[in-house]
Amino acid sequence: MASKLDALNRWVDEVTRLTQPDRVHWCDGSDAEYQALLELMLDTGDLIELNPSTHPNCYLHRSSPSDVARVEHLTFVCSQDAEDAGPNNHWMAPDEAHAKIDALFAGCMRGRTLYVIPYCMGPIDSPIARCGVEITDSPYVVANMRIMTRMGQKALERIERDGSFVKGLHSTGDLDPARRFIMHFPEELTIKSIGSGYGGNALLGKKCHALRIASWQARQEGWLAEHMLILGIENPQGEVFYVAAAFPSACGKTNLAMLIPPKAYPGWKVWTVGDDICWMQPGADGRLWAINPEAGFFGVAPGTGAKTNPNALAMLDHDTIFTNVAVTADLQPWWEGKGEGKPVTDWQGRDFDPANGPAAHPNSRFTVSARQCASWTPRAEDPQGVPISAIIFGGRRESLVPLVFESRDWTHGVLVGAAMGSETTAAATGAVGVLRRDSMAMKPFCGYNFGDYFKHWLSFDRPGTQLPKIFHVNWFRKGQDGKFMWPGFGDNMRVLEWIIERCRGRAGAQETPIGNLPRRSDLNLAGLEIPAADMDQLLTVDRDGWAREYTGIGEYLDSFGQRTPEALRREHARTLSALTQPEMPPAKVAAG
């Protein structure tokens, strides 16, 4: 009787013949294996041990200076039909892509070990979870995958039960940017990546599997794979409400996921389920139930400090792998915004000189188990997931976009998510601060045509469902003095409370052409010293500015041609028409 692992064994044999490693190691995920990997990398210099007194079991990895972020221009979706990939992706024909990248894989592991990493995205026993196997020649990748996924023997056993898995082949190659590609073959559930050791390009369970391939799987199977945090909000009565929120990379997802309520919220708690990826599936009760497919955090270090995210800072003082941060004289990790210490060595290992730029790379990272977070909840391991009450979209916008608004209904909410725009950050290569459309924060991660993706989102609105309400937030509005108008961080709890109370039918709002906005009286502003004029600006709709915005949104939707759903075009036309009508006094809408 053939084993369900025969296909896996055959694939490992094929890759071994292609890449020609000196040895093959099947990872079991054990503590002993992890320690051996750390010792190996300490011997080779791939890791540097940090101060064992202040940061026990913490290590620093420095990547090549040309390998520090996602490379979207070298990332391809290789579906059979170019239209299925869509204009939101770079496309290459599968046969051409396989030939091009396999030529680079030929013999690339000579002198190296080939590691076979069975892993599960999500709790091992969750019906929402999916498995994969990554083959790599990077012990750094193995160590990170152990933290970020459920990796090893139990995952292999689930693969044998399921009889299916996503195949991921990775090699650092020679780290030449001219010989670097990240290829996705969604119809084959296959990923091939070469020439990079950086997180999102090399930890194939993360963006490659959990978003690009999973989004394709999710459309086929009737669920959603999204670039979203998941958090629980517990009120003083002990009731917990879960929300999912989509922001582009480096726009505050981790900070929000680990938020500590301000003093104005005694008895309130925030529980962290996940900070980056959310898989949602309709439940028997009509609600969307969500899991975090990851087991760890691969967070941006700069800006993480005692003021911005004390929960994150506290979890990084043991058992953490840091990538491209600076170090102090006594070998403690350091980055801009940490708030203590002084760097002596920068992220490239040079004596720190401000003339060379920041001490830590702007996209430097930490990899740490989610269980080390003080706000982590055991519900993150619940196989059923958690029920989602609200979905929040947001981006980095210095002007125009209000602090928060609520969509009119699910279709309008899908339009709000599709229309998202954000100013770019250091998480991707290229210019910083440029406005680009980033639908649902999935621009770099959706594994198929955005027009089909919008249609898939719309398909969840059917009889018998209890879909989450959809909101949009903007923590990054600036005044004429160039300073942020909203304090953000813990005070974002004030916005979350309004969102939850809207979901419960208990909070008021005013109706505007772009959605329902709170009035100042609808928000708990106790203890905040924000001028009334600034709050008014944060909660006002600039109709002329939004009319121009919606003209641009229409052009964006048109870029997907006939695949853009008609329902979305109608909703867009409806909103644009409302913005260009003579202004009426804002109408109060009923709570909820």
Tokens found for residue 128? 């929402």
Provide the mean pLDDT of the chain: 95
* 346 and 256 within one domain: no
Buried b (16+ CB within 10 A) or exposed e, 97-122: bbeebeebbeebbeebbbbbbbbbbb
Could you tell me the pLDDT band of residue 460, with boundaries at 50, 70 and 90?
very high
CATH code for the domain of 430: 3.90.228.20
* 280 and 165 within one domain: no
CATH code for the domain of 117: 3.40.449.10
For residue 88, say whether it is annotated as part of any ligand binding site: no
Task: Choose one of 168, 197, 222: the last residue of a domain.
Answer: 222
The model's pLDDT over 54-99, given as tens digits with 9 standing for 90+, comes to: 999 999 999 999 999 889 999 999 999 999 999 999 999 999 999 9
List residues bridging with 234 in a β-sheet: 240, 269
* Paired sense of beta strands 469-473 and 421-423, if any: unpaired
Closest by Cα among 381, 379, 346, 377 to 364: 346
* 162 and 40 within one domain: yes
The model's pLDDT over 164-214, given as tens digits with 9 standing for 90+, comes to: 999 999 999 999 999 999 999 999 999 999 999 999 999 999 999 999 999
Integer Cα distance of 207 and 202 in angstroms: 9
Closest by Cα among 277, 490, 492, 501 to 389: 501
Tokens found for residue 35? 């320690």
For residue 254, say whether it is annotated as part of any ligand binding site: yes
Q: Is residue 592 part of a domain?
A: no
CATH code for the domain of 320: 2.170.8.10
* 215 and 135 within one domain: yes
| pLDDT score, position 582 | 84
Q: What is the mean pLDDT of the segment spanning 89-113?
A: 98
| pLDDT score, position 251 | 83
Contact between 199 and 291 (Cβ < 8 Å): no
| pLDDT score, position 249 | 75
For residue 363, say whether it is annotated as part of any ligand binding site: yes
For residue 349, say whether it is annotated as part of any ligand binding site: no
| pLDDT score, position 433 | 67
The model's pLDDT over 490-520, given as tens digits with 9 standing for 90+, comes to: 999 999 999 999 999 999 999 999 999 999 9
Closest by Cα among 562, 557, 591 to 573: 557
Distance of alpha carbon 12 from the chain centroid: 30
* 412 and 270 within one domain: yes
Question: Would you say residue 153 has pLDDT above 50?
Answer: yes
Residues annotated catalytic, as ranges? 251
Contact between 513 and 433 (Cβ < 8 Å): no
What range does the domain containing 354 cover?
297-372
Q: Is residue 288 part of a domain?
A: yes
Percent of the chain whose predicted confidence (pLDDT) is above 90: 93
Q: Is residue 65 part of a domain?
A: no
* Total number of domains in the chain: 3
* 217 and 241 within one domain: no
* 505 and 368 within one domain: no
Question: Would you say residue 583 has pLDDT above 80?
Answer: no
Three-state DSSP at 410 gives helix
Residues whose CB falls within 8 Å of the CB of residue 177, separated by 6 or more in sequence, listed in order = 66, 67, 71, 74, 195
Closest by Cα among 74, 308, 50 to 192: 74
| pLDDT score, position 426 | 57
Integer Cα distance of 73 and 70 in angstroms: 9
For residue 292, say whether it is annotated as part of any ligand binding site: no
* 536 and 507 within one domain: yes
Q: What is the mean pLDDT of the segment spanning 399-405?
A: 97
Q: Is residue 313 part of a domain?
A: yes
Q: Is residue 311 part of a domain?
A: yes
| pLDDT score, position 427 | 55
Percent of the chain whose predicted confidence (pLDDT) is above 70: 97
For residue 199, say whether it is annotated as part of any ligand binding site: yes
Task: Choose one of 198, 222, 246: the last residue of a domain.
Answer: 222
Could you tell me the pLDDT band of residue 1, with boundaries at 50, 70 and 90?
very low
Q: Is residue 335 part of a domain?
A: yes
| pLDDT score, position 125 | 97
Task: Choose one of 333, 355, 372: the last residue of a domain.
Answer: 372
The model's pLDDT over 345-390, given as tens digits with 9 standing for 90+, comes to: 999 999 999 999 999 999 999 999 999 999 999 999 999 999 999 9
Find the length of the chain: 592
For residue 490, say whether it is annotated as part of any ligand binding site: yes
For residue 508, say whether it is annotated as part of any ligand binding site: no
Integer Cα distance of 385 and 267 in angstroms: 25
The model's pLDDT over 525-560, given as tens digits with 9 standing for 90+, comes to: 999 999 999 999 999 999 999 999 999 999 999 999
CA 67-86-73 angle, 5° bins: 15
* 257 and 268 within one domain: yes
* 313 and 203 within one domain: no
Q: Is residue 492 part of a domain?
A: yes
Q: What is the mean pLDDT of the segment spanning 307-312?
A: 94
Candidate ranges 3-7, 151-155, 587-591; pick with highest mean pLDDT: 151-155
Residue linked to tokens 């320690």 = 35
Can you state the percent helix, strand and coil of the chain, rounding each to 5? 35, 25, 45
Q: How many CA atoms lie within 13 Å of 370's alpha carbon, on the beta-carbon side?
A: 31
Integer Cα distance of 530 and 75 in angstroms: 44
* 426 and 551 within one domain: yes
Question: Would you say residue 592 has pLDDT above 60?
Answer: no
* 386 and 352 within one domain: no
Q: Is residue 529 part of a domain?
A: yes
Integer Cα distance of 371 and 318 in angstroms: 12
| pLDDT score, position 435 | 80
Could you tell me the pLDDT band of residue 590, with boundaries at 50, 70 and 90?
low
For residue 51, say whether it is annotated as part of any ligand binding site: no
Could you tell me the pLDDT band of residue 338, with boundaries at 50, 70 and 90?
very high
Integer Cα distance of 275 and 247 in angstroms: 10
